[in-house]
Chain A
Amino acid sequence: MEAVYAIWQRDVLKFFRDRARLIGSFAMPFMFLILFGSGMSGAIGSMMGGEEAAGPLRDFDFVEFMFPGIIGMTVFNTAIFSALSVVQDREFGYLREILVSPMSRTSIAIGKVLGGSTVALFQGLMMLVFVPFIGVSITLPIILELIPVMFLVAFAISSIGLLIATSLKTSQGFQMIIQVLIFPMLFLSGALFPLNGMPAWMDFLVKINPLTYSVDMFKKIILQPENLAPALREAMGLNLSVFGHVISFSEEMIVVLVLSILFVVLATVRFNRSEA
Chain B
Amino acid sequence: MKNIVEVKGLEKNYKSFRAVTGVDFEVGEGEIFGFLGPNGAGKSTTINMLSTIIRPSGGKASINGFDIVADKNKVRASIGLIFQESTLDEKLTANENLMLHCKFYRVPKDKREERIKEVLEIVDLEDKRGNIVDTFSGGMKRRLEIARGLLHYPRVLFLDEPTVGLDPQTRNHIWEYILRLKEKAGITIFLTTHYMDEAEICDRVAVMDHGELIALDTPDQLKTNVGGDIIEIETEDNQTAWKILKEKYEVEVNEAGESLTFQVDKGSEFLVQFVKNFDIPIKTVNLRRPTLNDVFLALTGREIREEAASSKEKMKSNMRKGRG
Residues of A within 8 A of B (CB): 2-3, 5-6, 9-10, 13-14, 17-18, 92-94, 96-104, 275-276
Contacts and interface: CB of A to CB of B under 8 A. Distances in A.
Interface in B8-65: 51-54
A100 B53 contact: yes
A93 B141 CA distance: 13
A93 B85 CA distance: 7
A107 to B, nearest CB: 10
B305 interface: no
Interface of B: 51-54, 73-74, 76-77, 81, 83, 85-92, 96, 100-101, 103-106
A104 B73 CA distance: 8
14 contacts: A2-B106, A10-B100, A14-B89, A14-B91, A14-B92, A92-B90, A94-B87, A101-B104, A101-B105, A102-B74, A102-B77, A102-B105, A104-B73, A276-B54
Contact of B53 (A18, A92, A276): A276
B interface, by DSSP: helix, strand, loop or mixed? Answer: loop
Contacts of B85: 93
A93 B86 contact: yes
A2 B106 CA distance: 8
A6 B103 contact: yes
A9 B54 CA distance: 28
B76 A94 contact: no
B91 A5 contact: no
B87 A275 contact: no
Contacts of A276: 53-54
A100 B74 CA distance: 11
B106 A10 contact: no
A13 B89 CA distance: 12
A276 B96 CA distance: 22
Contact of B91 (A17, A96, A100, A102): A17
B96 to A, nearest CB: 7
Nearest to B106: A2
B76 A102 contact: yes
A191 B254 CA distance: 75
